[in-house]
């Protein structure tokens, strides 16, 4: 027997409505190599948590927050958890910016500090407002605005674009 919370659409309707947004954000945050895995992991987590939701309000933001957190998990897994003094240094590559449209822009985005990179990606690729970005990054809307503003200023400087 399937129990649905009042107001929630069937999960398949949620997937149909938002799969492109989840896939696009996952690829933007994790890159073309890990993007599909991040999107899949996000849908799995959303499916597991869906029966416990009590409101259908902001389902898109809820999904994109899960996607951003899954991408964060992938980035954290790439980093060594503790320094190894006797181990040789190993370079860990992020997304290949050359494979994306406008590679100079994406290279500059990849070089931003992590929180700025996530904030600007959630804002412009995920199309979240500052409340949604703040929820995804566990911060305030004011801090979200600042992160996006700082990221834009850095990108303008790096790319030589006048505001």
Domains of the chain by start residue, with CATH? 1-80 (1.10.1740.10), 98-163 (1.10.10.10)
Q: What six digits make up the tokens of 25? A: 């954000």
Query: For residue range 30-47, what is the model confidence (pLDDT) as tens digits?
Result: 888 888 999 999 999 999
Q: How far apart are CA 161 and CA 163, in angstroms?
A: 6
* Predicted pLDDT of residue 92: 43
Of 31-45, 54-68, 97-111, the poorest mean pLDDT is in 97-111
User: How confident is the model over 99-120, as a mean pLDDT?
Assistant: 82
Residue 9 DSSP symbol: P
The DSSP string of 78-140 is HS-SS--TTSPP-------GGGSSSHHHHHHHHTS-HHHHHHHHHHHTS---HHHHHHHHTS-
Q: How far apart are CA 100 and CA 76, in angstroms?
A: 23
User: How confident is the model over 91-110, as a mean pLDDT?
Assistant: 65
| In the chain, % of residues over pLDDT 70 | 82
């Amino acid at each position: 027997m399937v129990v649905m919370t009042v107001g929630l659409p069937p999960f398949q309707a949620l997937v149909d409505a938002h799969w492109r947004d989840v896939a696009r954000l996952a690829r933007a945050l994790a890159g073309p190599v890990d993007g599909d895995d991040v999107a899949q992991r996000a849908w799995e987590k959303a499916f597991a948590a869906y029966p416990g939701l009590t409101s259908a309000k902001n389902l898109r933001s809820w999904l994109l927050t899960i996607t951003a957190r899954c991408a964060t998990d992938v980035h954290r897994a790439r980093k060594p958890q503790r320094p190894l003094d006797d181990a040789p240094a190993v370079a860990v590559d992020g997304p290949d910016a050359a494979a994306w449209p406008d590679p100079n822009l994406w290279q500059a985005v990849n070089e931003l500090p992590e929180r700025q990179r996530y904030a600007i990606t959630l804002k412009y690729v995920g199309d979240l407002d500052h409340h949604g970005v703040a929820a995804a990054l566990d911060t305030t809307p004011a801090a979200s605005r600042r992160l996006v503003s700082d990221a834009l200023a850095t990108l303008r400087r790096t790319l030589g674009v006048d505001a």
